[in-house]
């Protein structure tokens, strides 16, 4: 199995472009997958630099309905009009960042949900013995504080986003399982709890942002939540690969606690998966 980051927020070591967005290429025995598409066509430019042929992708997995994970889709469809696009039906809703009187649309381009290739799901789906996805994360342990500013607009009114549009990919290979999430808006600890309910034990590896990034100072409560999350993740048997919305300062705090169990993946990096995956 190979997993290569096609775009992320930070510059990597392979001369790739970067932006506030996330996209991964995943190659298994049976499939060539695209997990999210970043915020623009940059992921496609990086794919060419990295030797990834987007015309060979057979399936696109969209983690949730925000622009920085979906707005590269038109560029992808121009190169590959045949791949199935898996997203939750709720990913088409109108999502906003709302804070101190400011309203910014952060949902996907409205035309994306209407693509003929889009398979609009309503819950879990098992594709085959390699690929499955799950939803229904309802826990609120260590729920990222930044979520409180994220809203969904319905009939002209704003409501708290409950992130039911978020879905999680599970890849099985050689008896190992890898869990992939985009931003873990529902909280990585709650996502892992739901995973254990389904699979009975921890995944071998987790690839996910942790949505802890802030533009300005971190409060005492923020720091405590970051450290508590890191402490809980350290107890897991999983190896964690992160980036994008985790943020540099939270990553450093978590790295001090988790050590080699936490790895940052930059734009263009290949994920150094555990032996056997």
Nearest Cα neighbor of 23 from 9, 10, 34, 15 is 34
Q: Is the pLDDT of residue 14 over 80?
A: no
Q: Would you place residue 133 in the very low, low, confident or very high pLDDT band (cuts 50, 70, 90)?
A: very high
- Residue 131 and residue 128: Cα distance in Å, rounded? 5
Please state whether beta strands 125-126 and 157-160 pair in parallel, antiparallel, or not at all (unpaired).
unpaired
Q: Would you place residue 152 in the very low, low, confident or very high pLDDT band (cuts 50, 70, 90)?
A: very high
Q: Is the pLDDT of residue 157 over 80?
A: yes
Half-sphere exposure of 126 (CA within 13 A, CB side): 5
Q: Please list, in sequence order, all residues whose beta carbon lies within 8 angstroms of the beta carbon of residue 234, skipping any fewer than 6 positions away.
A: 257, 258, 259, 261
In what helix (H) or strand (E) does residue 198 lie, and over which residues does it extend? helix 188-199
pLDDT, position 274: 87
Share of the chain above pLDDT 70, in %: 100
Q: Which CATH architecture has domain 2-264?
A: 4-Layer Sandwich (3.60)
pTM: 0.96
Yes or no: say if 97 and 149 are a contact pair by the CB < 8 Å rule. yes
Please state whether beta strands 84-88 and 59-61 pair in parallel, antiparallel, or not at all (unpaired).
parallel
pLDDT, position 184: 98
Q: How many CB atoms lie within 10 A of CB 143?
A: 17
Q: Is the pLDDT of residue 140 over 80?
A: yes
Q: Would you place residue 275 in the very low, low, confident or very high pLDDT band (cuts 50, 70, 90)?
A: confident
Yes or no: say if 54 and 76 are a contact pair by the CB < 8 Å rule. yes
Q: Is the pLDDT of residue 186 over 90?
A: yes
| Tens digits of residue pLDDT in 219-249 | 999 999 999 999 999 999 999 999 999 999 9
Yes or no: say if 254 and 229 are a contact pair by the CB < 8 Å rule. yes
pLDDT, position 13: 77
| Tens digits of residue pLDDT in 191-224 | 999 999 999 999 999 999 999 998 778 999 999 9
| Tens digits of residue pLDDT in 20-78 | 999 999 999 999 999 999 999 999 999 999 999 999 999 999 999 999 999 999 999 99
Domain residue ranges of the chain, discontinuous segments joined by +: 2-264
Q: Would you place residue 100 in the very low, low, confident or very high pLDDT band (cuts 50, 70, 90)?
A: confident
pLDDT, position 214: 86
Q: Would you place residue 124 in the very low, low, confident or very high pLDDT band (cuts 50, 70, 90)?
A: very high
Q: What is the mean pLDDT of the chain?
A: 95
């Amino acid at each position: 199995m190979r997993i290569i980051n096609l775009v992320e927020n930070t510059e990597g070591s392979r001369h790739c472009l970067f932006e506030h967005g996330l996209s991964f290429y995943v190659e298994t025995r049976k499939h060539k997958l695209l997990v999210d598409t970043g915020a623009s066509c940059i992921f496609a430019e990086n794919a060419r630099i990295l030797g990834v042929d987007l015309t060979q992708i057979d399936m696109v997995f969209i983690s949730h309905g925000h622009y920085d994970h979906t707005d590269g889709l038109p560029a992808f469809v121009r190169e590959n009009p045949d791949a199935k696009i898996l997203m939750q039906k709720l990913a088409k809703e109108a999502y906003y960042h709302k804070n101190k009187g400011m309203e910014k649309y952060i949902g996907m381009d409205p035309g994306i949900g209407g693509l003929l290739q889009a398979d609009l799901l309503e819950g879990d789906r098992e594709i085959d013995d390699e690929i499955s996805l799950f939803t229904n994360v309802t826990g609120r342990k260590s729920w990222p504080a930044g979520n409180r500013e994220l809203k969904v607009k319905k009939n002209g009114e704003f409501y708290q986003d409950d992130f039911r549009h978020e879905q999680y990919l599970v890849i099985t290979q050689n008896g190992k399982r890898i869990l992939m999430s985009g931003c873990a808006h529902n909280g990585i600890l709650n996502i892992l709890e739901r995973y254990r309910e389904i699979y009975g034990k921890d995944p071998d590896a987790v690839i996910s942002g942790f949505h802890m990034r802030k533009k300005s100072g971190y409060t005492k409560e923020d720091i405590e939540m970051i450290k508590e999350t890191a402490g809980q993740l350290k107890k897991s048997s999983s190896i964690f690969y992160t980036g994008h919305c985790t943020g540099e300062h939270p990553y450093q705090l978590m790295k001090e606690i988790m050590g080699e169990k936490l790895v940052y993946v930059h734009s263009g990096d290949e994920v150094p998966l555990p032996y056997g995956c």
